[in-house]
Amino acid sequence: MQVAVCAQEGSPDAAVDPRFGRCQCLVLVNRENNYWESIANPGINSSGGAGIQTAQTLVDRRVEAVLVGRIGPKAMAVFQRAGIKVFGGITGTVRESIDLYHRGKLPLLDGANSIAHAGMGGGFKKA
């Protein structure tokens, strides 16, 4: 099972990036074979549609779960259509987030937890 984590740098010990579409990079982790890799986020410098572009990259990479701090409605819709589970509210490091995920301690999101364009300074979704 391959899990993607939004990160500020490309390593398991990197701090997570709370943004999805404009996170610095994505760390892909496969705990079954103790393999990880970092990929550049293709949406980071996009003038628009960063979340959609980032989400589609992870769909193409066949991830089964995504760990995010915040995610907007358009990116979330891409994952919902693809049947990919999204877990939200991560903090700490990539390694800590993966551990919490495997212990079942991260909340599964049933929708976006951020407003559109929040990664560009828009803010959080109102409760």
Is 127 among the domain residues? no
Q: Does residue 3 surpass a pLDDT of 70?
A: yes
Range of the domain at 111: 2-120
Judge whether 7 and 22 are in contact, CB under 8 Å: no
Are 82 and 31 a contacting pair, CB within 8 Å?
no
Q: Would you say residue 33 lies in a domain?
A: yes
Which among 67, 103, 101 is positioned nearest to 84, based on CA atoms?
67
Mean local confidence (pLDDT), 18-47: 90
Residues 6+ apart with CB under 8 A from 1: 30, 31, 32, 64, 65
**Over residues 58-73, mean pLDDT:** 95
13-17, 24-28, 45-49, 83-87: segment of lowest average pLDDT = 45-49
How confident is the model over 102-123, as pLDDT tens digits? 999 999 999 898 765 444 444 4
CATH number, domain with residue 42: 3.30.420.130
Q: How many domains is the chain partitioned into structurally?
A: 1
